[in-house]
Amino acid sequence: MLKELYIRNLAVIRESVIPLEKRLNIFTGETGAGKSILINGINAVLGQRCSKDIVRTGCDKAIITALFTELSPEVCNKLDELGIDHENNEITVTREINADGGSVARINSRTASASLLKEIGGMMINIHGQHDNQILLDSERHMEILDDFSGDNSLLDAYRVTFRELQSTARRLGELKKQEQSRIERIRHLSEIVKDVGALDLEAGEDDELEKEYAAANNSQRIISAINSAVQAIKGDDGANDIIAAAEGEISSLTDDSAEVSALYDRLSAVEIELSDIASELEKIADKAELDGQRVEYLRERLGAINKVKRKYMADSAELVKMYDDACDELTRLQDSDSEIKLLADKREELLRKVTEQAKALYDYREQTAERFVSRVTEELEFLNMAGVVLAVRHEKGKLTVSGMDTVEFLISANKGEEPKPISKIASGGELSRVMLALKSVIADRDSIDTMIFDEIDTGVSGKAAQKIGIKLKEIGKVRQVICVTHLSQIAVMADNHLMIEKNLVDGRTETSVTQLDFSGRTAEIARIMGGDNPGELVIKAAVDELRKAAEL
């Protein structure tokens, strides 16, 4: 609960320590005394956005510190998660608002973000202001109210898990289908690579090796051709050997007559033998260099095929091999995505079936909850001086949403004989306040929020209805700490802790103070509310009587 609120330099509040108690805490004061500043201060420590304009004129900053005690197990668990100490189940929350803009938040002197204050504060305090009545005017919020009343959101939580999984699955399926055309085109391109390169059964660097072998083959052909020509020149018709043999024949008859001719003849014979040996050696070399014609043709065709693919993809053999491997891998993934589409489509159908069944179960549960809701709230409204009121819940089936397959709208008839109609169309401000109080009352024992704050819950009501609101606030105060700002004596007399907000002039400046009232002070304040600034004895006596009656309640 909120044990104490310390405020310094907040608007017209220079400094104030505000003690609060467990049960019903009531703030009263004249219009303009600064009751709204109090709510602003509490909102600040709850992480709400603050304007630098609320800093007291001439001051560097405003400071608001709240002491929370008797923390709920849920709050303690959250603090443990965040590593924030809560010795004796207590924490202090501080918000400093600088005059030049910006603010600093702390929990137990540890710096915290405004969002963290909002998260923690939302678990400790629930503030109901006049704007909260707008929830009743928004039919889309009615289901939220009904679910809060049910006290068990397990069906809704389970439904939402399945619904979000269905959304995720459908989204992924849609993405894959959108990618289908580009996927098909990509598969076609990759398949062409696999076909072209795969048909070659290529190895990295193979083209270089084949080029070398083919170049060597071409050189061998040149060598063989030259040798054959040389052999032909020696051994062929009219070749060197024939010419030498002819020369030998011409001078053979002269060898006996001339030693000199004989020597030349011997030399011609030696040349003939040498040329024959040379021709034989050349033929041996030619035999060794002779090529396999089929191999040469293979090399020519193989290199032609490889070079054609290399030109097509503008890559060498190593790059083609890598391109082939990458294409095979990507094809596998893309073909798997085809099976993923089928799997996702099947999964979506199964999730749709499941979520529909859960939505029907949730609808039935809400139908039962609506009956209890109408009974309980009607009972509260009758107590709050709305006898004869008819409350109904229009509950219809619709399309699947994150909240189920149903729609909920509250209908009300405040006048006997009139058909219930949407609250937004017929409820007055006073009726809205009482309906909201009735809702808060029936939900009060179903959550773990220790403190409820009502700002101007008395809007549009007076007399007996106001008295009933006061009694109801006191009743809620038995199970929750209640803080209420009011202008009505019927509500103020119900306070377990009555605090007066008062504006005074101090040293030429306006200051607002907050005072905890004893019985005498309460009497004077109730009398002021009932009879104005100078109440007579009868008004004062009436104030005493009202306070005593309230105490007896």
Q: Is residue 172 part of a domain?
A: no
Which CATH number does the domain housing residue 60 bear? 3.40.50.300
Q: What is the mean pLDDT of the chain?
A: 84
Q: Is residue 549 part of a domain?
A: no
- Structure confidence by residue, pLDDT tens digits, 348-396: 999 999 999 999 999 999 999 999 999 988 888 888 888 778 889 999 9
Shared-domain flag, residues 10 and 122:
yes
Parallel, antiparallel, or unpaired: how do β-strands 404-413 and 390-401 relate?
antiparallel
Q: Which of 283, 315, 347 is the last residue of a domain?
A: 315
Instruction: Report which of 464, 470, 502, 530 is spatially closest to residue 23, judged by C-alpha positions.
Output: 470
Parallel, antiparallel, or unpaired: how do β-strands 497-506 and 509-516 relate?
antiparallel
Q: Does the pLDDT at position 291 exceed 60?
A: no
Shared-domain flag, residues 121 and 224:
no
Q: Could you give the strand order of the β-sheet that contains 497-506, starting from the edge strand earlier in sequence?
A: 125-128, 451-455, 481-485, 24-28, 497-506, 509-516
Number of domains in the chain: 2
Shared-domain flag, residues 98 and 222:
no
pLDDT at 391: 87
CA 191 to CA 200: how far, in whole Å?
Answer: 14
Q: Is residue 422 part of a domain?
A: no
CA 527 to CA 24: how far, in whole Å?
Answer: 20
Q: Is residue 220 part of a domain?
A: yes
Q: Does the pLDDT at position 294 exceed 70?
A: no
**Band of pLDDT at residue 219, cut at 50, 70 and 90:** low
Share of the chain above pLDDT 70, in %: 90
Mean pLDDT to the nearest integer, 45-54:
85
Shared-domain flag, residues 115 and 235:
no
Structural domain for 310, as ranges: 206-315
pLDDT at 206: 78
Q: Which range among 112-116, 235-239, 415-419 has the greatest average pLDDT?
A: 112-116
Question: Do 543 and 532 meet the contact criterion of CB atoms below 8 Å apart?
Answer: no
pLDDT at 134: 63
Q: Is residue 270 part of a domain?
A: yes
Q: Could you give the strand order of the β-sheet that contains 390-401, starting from the edge strand earlier in sequence?
A: 390-401, 404-413, 421-422
> In terms of DSSP H, where are the helices of 85-153?
114-124, 134-137, 142-150
Spell out where 263-306 has E strands: none
Locate 281 and state its tokens. Answer: 């050696």
Q: Which of 267, 286, 315 is the last residue of a domain?
A: 315
Cα–Cα distance list, 35 to 31, 364, 478 (Å): 8, 45, 24
- Structure confidence by residue, pLDDT tens digits, 333-344: 777 666 778 888
pLDDT at 221: 66
Locate 379 and state its tokens. Answer: 């009972």
- b/e 245-266 (16+ beta carbons within 10 angstroms → b): eeebeeeeeebeeeeeeeeebe
Roughly what angle, to the nearest 10 degrees, separates helices 142-150 and 429-443?
Answer: 30
Q: Is residue 170 part of a domain?
A: no
Shared-domain flag, residues 226 and 110:
no
**Band of pLDDT at residue 519, cut at 50, 70 and 90:** very high
Shared-domain flag, residues 1 and 123:
yes
Q: What 8-state DSSP symbol labels residue 140?
A: G
DSSP 455-520: ESTTTT--HHHHHHHHHHHHHHTTTSEEEEE-S-HHHHTT-SEEEEEEEEEETTEEEEEEEE--HH
* Cα angle: 308, vertex 314, 316; to 5 degrees: 80
**Token pair 């053979």 is at which residue?**
252
pLDDT at 155: 94
- Structure confidence by residue, pLDDT tens digits, 465-516: 888 889 889 988 888 899 998 889 999 999 999 999 988 888 878 888 889 9
Mean pLDDT to the nearest integer, 230-237:
72
Mean pLDDT to the nearest integer, 264-273:
78
Phi, psi of 478 (to 5 degrees): -75, -25
Q: Does the pLDDT at position 256 exceed 60?
A: yes
Mean pLDDT to the nearest integer, 57-74:
91
pLDDT at 404: 93
CA 528 to CA 450: how far, in whole Å?
Answer: 32
Shared-domain flag, residues 18 and 103:
yes
Mean pLDDT to the nearest integer, 146-155:
88
**Band of pLDDT at residue 132, cut at 50, 70 and 90:** low
Shared-domain flag, residues 15 and 110:
yes
CA 147 to CA 158: how far, in whole Å?
Answer: 14
Find all residues with CB under 8 Å of 316, minimum gap 6, and list them. Answer: 207, 310
pLDDT at 430: 67
Q: Is residue 351 part of a domain?
A: no
Q: Which range among 139-143, 177-181, 209-213 has the greatest average pLDDT?
A: 139-143
Q: Which of 294, 315, 336 is the last residue of a domain?
A: 315
Neighbours of 51 (CB within 10 A): 10
Mean pLDDT to the nearest integer, 231-251:
73
Parallel, antiparallel, or unpaired: how do β-strands 24-28 and 497-506 relate?
parallel
Q: Does the pLDDT at position 220 exceed 80?
A: no
pLDDT at 129: 63
Q: Is residue 198 part of a domain?
A: no
Shared-domain flag, residues 108 and 222:
no
Mean pLDDT to the nearest integer, 406-432:
78
